[in-house]
Amino acid sequence: MSSDSTTAQEAITFADLGLSPKVLSAVTDAGYTVPTPIQAGAIPHALQGKDVLGIAQTGTGKTAAFVLPMITRLEKGRARARMPRTLILEPTRELAAQVEENFVKYGKNHKLNIALLIGGVSFDEQDKKLERGADVLIATPGRLLDHRERGKLLLTGVDILVIDEADRMLDMGFIPDIERICEMIPFTRQTLFFSATMPPEITKLTEKFLHAPVRIEVARAASTATSITQRLVKSGPKPWDKREVLRDLIKAEDEGLKNAIIFCNRKIEVSELFRSLVKYEFDAGALHGDMDQRARMQMLDNFRSGKLKLLVASDVAARGLDIPDVSHVFNFDVPIHAEDYVHRIGRTGRAGRSGKSFTIATRNDTKYLDAIERLIGQKIEWHDGDLSTVVAREESEDSPRRERAGRGGRDRDRRSREPRGGRRGETAKPADLAEAPQPIAAANDERAMRRDAIRHDNAARKAPDRQEPRRDNRRQRDEDDGRPVLGFGADMPAFMLVAGKV
């Protein structure tokens, strides 16, 4: 395995890399002049047809590092029906869609047929695109294999294979699928392989399927950007303690908080926290692995465009999303896997901008905190005193005891004084929203959007999408832990919201 310089040479421009004039013109139109280190390192080798092993996180510009040379190489030759010329494997639908956007952006001077094979959408449209002949096929592993099994797809014409986010593929149990797919593609292909970290299973995979790859490592996978101010925030152990800490933090950041991603370890926590934030009238949306494609895309669009300020997400759902300029990251849960900490906080402080991350920690989290600090090679400062200074908080409104008391007892007075829906006045409660019939609402109607989000959240909880099943026994980060929900949680039954006599 040869090795390349890990630092960007300032003098290098895109024009020096050997890309075609049409690709260069699209790069210029995108506003980029200086290649990032992964681009400067990978593009010349990829153009020569060599295998590349890129060790790089999202945010480093790694997508263009494979998209630009691919488009240049695709200028020669054309696609045949059902025989795609190139294949890019992505672990999630969002990442696959983002790669497609990159091909559209950088391929604007080309007539590329691009097919996107992802779960959660119908096979018919995808079949048509394959039938027309795809220059570029972007797929998640499960859906790709489904198409192949239906006899609609031949992989023998693939000249370039890209495996992106390999370590996340490992986490999601996709490695056996990747191995099967690699074995279906001619040995003579070029393989471009990207991973943020190199656990042993991934090293084994590269040894099996890459031929004398050029290794390009752009930053230590464990490094965190210096532009991020990282803080730990003490909390009591219960979810409602943490929710109150989070609310206080968000309020204290005030105007400085432009937008934030709030990470939870499990999708049930994503769901509960999202509902709680909405109940407290925060401008929040949720993103987790069980939401259908349309709901996820819409949620992301709303967040990107600034219609939503807070996005509650799980690691799997948020992995690799290209959301520029997030001012804050909150870890509602300390991640169990230390490297997830690096990925999570890497959502802020991008491209030299300053960002802030707050990690809410309880006494049960100390061993995970130790592992994170070991991995990033630094101590993280406490925001307002360490765990030895935790004091029991007053019960908050979303603690189960307070909710129970509120329903039958001391909250009754307040309810009878206020309009139906409690303090929200005109605005309905989440469960109220969830039960309401679908409105014909404008896309920018905030209430409609939130109602939609809650409906999707409800649907996802009832009928998880099984398009991309896990195929091994690794523990899933994004899964429910089966803990009972105390009281009614935020799932207030409809009968409790029926207007009473005032």
Per CB under 6 A, residues contacting ligand AMP are 32, 34-36, 39, 58-64, 322, 324
> Phi and psi for 2 in degrees, rounded to 5?
-85, 170
Closer residue to ligand AMP (CB): 20 or 265: 20
DSSP state string for 344-389: HHTTBSGGG--EEEEEEE-GGGHHHHHHHHHHHTSPPEESSS-GGG
Least separation in angstroms between residue 219's CB and ligand AMP is: 11
Closer residue to ligand AMP (CB): 250 or 317: 317
311: CB partners within 8 A, 6+ apart: 259, 260, 261, 262, 284, 285, 286, 287, 299, 303, 318
Closer residue to ligand AMP (CB): 349 or 489: 349
**3-state SS, residue 165:** coil
Q: In whole angstroms, give the CA distance from residue 53 to residue 194.
A: 6
Least separation in angstroms between residue 215's CB and ligand AMP is: 18
Closer residue to ligand AMP (CB): 55 or 361: 55
- Find how far residue 348's CA is from the centre of its chain: 13
Least separation in angstroms between residue 13's CB and ligand AMP is: 10
List the strands of the sheet with 136-139, edge to edge: 2-3, 214-217, 52-55, 190-195, 160-163, 86-89, 136-139, 114-117
Least separation in angstroms between residue 212's CB and ligand AMP is: 25
Closer residue to ligand AMP (CB): 95 or 249: 95
Closer residue to ligand AMP (CB): 43 or 299: 43
CB-based closest residue to ligand AMP = 63
Least separation in angstroms between residue 321's CB and ligand AMP is: 9
Closer residue to ligand AMP (CB): 173 or 346: 346
DSSP state string for 295-325: HHHHHHHHHHTTS-SEEEEEHHHHTT-----
Least separation in angstroms between residue 169's CB and ligand AMP is: 16
Least separation in angstroms between residue 330's CB and ligand AMP is: 22
Q: Are 188 and 49 in contact (CB under 8 A)?
A: no
For residue 341, what are its two tokens?
Answer: 């900490």
